Amino acid sequence: MRITVQSSKLLKPAYGRGVPSITTNIAIPLTIFDKVACDENVSGVCFFHPPAPPKAILEIGFGKALSSYREWAGRLAVDAYGNHCILLNDAGVRWVEATSDVPLSSLSLLEQTPEMQSLCLSGIENGEELMVVQITQFVCGSFAIANTMHHLVGDGHGMCRFMIAWAKATRGVAIDRVPVYDRASIFKPRNPPRVDFEHRGVEFMEPHHEEKSCINRVDSSNNTVVVHRVHFTPAMLSELKSQGSAGADWPYSTLQCVAAHLWRCITKARGLDGNVVTKLKIPVSGRQRMPVPEEYTGNVVLWAQPAMTVWELVTSPLQHIVELISREVARIDENYFRSFIDFASSGVVEEEGLLVRTTELVKAMDGNTSIFVSNMKGVPLDELDFGTGRSFLFTRSHPPIEGFVFIMPNLSSDGGMDVQVGLFSRAMDIFKDYCYSFITANAKL
């Protein structure tokens, strides 16, 4: 497949006829949740059936959406007090229009192939833009919209809200929820502060601390990371949920049962020593745990980190693993979020020179003994419609990462679940054997 870039330019917010452009350099300090988010660009691609809307109409709608979501047209900066912030200077978003010489049907849409990554070919060219949009037209009339966004500006929910606002503006529908710019006022510490949980070694770590569980002790220089898509049918999900909830007073969530199964299968495939501690790192949104405005676009995510030795994990029944996951996720409640706010706002982080531990997760993922989960299943991408029909698929578009599990949003109604798993090629066939034989034997498929 050949991707040809037809144009590349900066797009700025469009405030409408008679409304002057806003040129003030308002600085929005990053919140403590923004600061512990991954300091990385994240990419995703939405796919649409034909017909494609005229690119001029998409561009007009995009400018209107940017006038409400100005953060994405801004730049990361440091204010006069040394605080990292988002500068609302309307510098613009990189807008790329491209064409493909093949029909969409020739792509393996559910695999992280080089062809799929080329749909975000432009990347962030000079490192300053907080968003890059690439619209690729296929010869069959289908089209793809790829977004590369900086994670410090927003989490998956916040990114999705902008995309939906863009789609509404393109259809001529009013953007009914204007985002909140005053981020700091939402997460004020309590007076007096109350730190009820340990946050050192969890969200933060000491300088020069070597986290053994995140260091690959095996020479992996000759290993290639590959991605496999696991499709869980409704029957598989039902069987996993039945096993994971055996003996429990109430059924555990399907997501937790799937995560437990994948954690165990991946760990078996890695062939790690039984005494090694492995963690499952699961994002927990604070939007359902604290009063956070729906229109807030910044980050509100912490991490549940259930841990077991490899021997415990591979020998325990699924129900025991699911119970541990459920307990750790439930522990990250409003009290935990409030404790984190008080700790991170107390000045201890600066005084002790603590480092953000979560920033290191993706960077240290190569050869990791733990698993990093990204869950987009609850993000409302099914609302994404630019006037010619809703998106039928959303997937990540980045180089494969070992130990990265991506739970894809369900844009269909079949009741199944698709999950992408990244592992070293030497472990992938072993993973497949464990994953499918375990489910097949029990679900009788």
The set of catalytic residues is 151, 385
**In angstroms, how far is CA 392 from the centroid of its own chain?**
19
**In angstroms, how far is CA 83 from the centroid of its own chain?**
25
Q: What is the C-alpha to C-alpha distance for residues 198 and 305, in angstroms, rounded to an integer? A: 13
The span from the first CA to the last CA of the chain, in angstroms, equals 36
Supply the angle between the helices 254-270 and 425-443 in degrees, to the nearest 10.
Answer: 130
Q: What is the DSSP string of 364-382?
A: T-TT-SSEEEEE-TTS-GG
Give Cα separations from 363 to 92, 152, 174, 431 (angstroms).
28, 16, 40, 23
Buried b (16+ CB within 10 A) or exposed e, 406-430: bbbbbbeeeeebbbbbbbbeebbeb
- Residue 145 gets which letter from DSSP? E
Q: How many CB atoms lie within 10 A of CB 214?
A: 19
**Strands of 93-100's sheet, edge to edge?**
3-11, 93-100, 131-137, 143-150, 41-48, 393-396
Q: What is the DSSP string of 186-200?
A: GGPPPSS----S--B
The two three-digit tokens of residue 405, written as one number = 């599990």
Positive/negative CA dihedral, 5, 10, 13, 14: negative
Q: What is the C-alpha to C-alpha distance for residues 376 and 379, in angstroms, rounded to an integer? A: 5
Q: What is the C-alpha to C-alpha distance for residues 427 and 410, in angstroms, rounded to an integer? A: 27
Cβ-based burial of 274 (10 A; exposed 0-12, middle 13-18, buried ≥19): exposed
Q: How many CB atoms lie within 10 A of CB 11?
A: 16
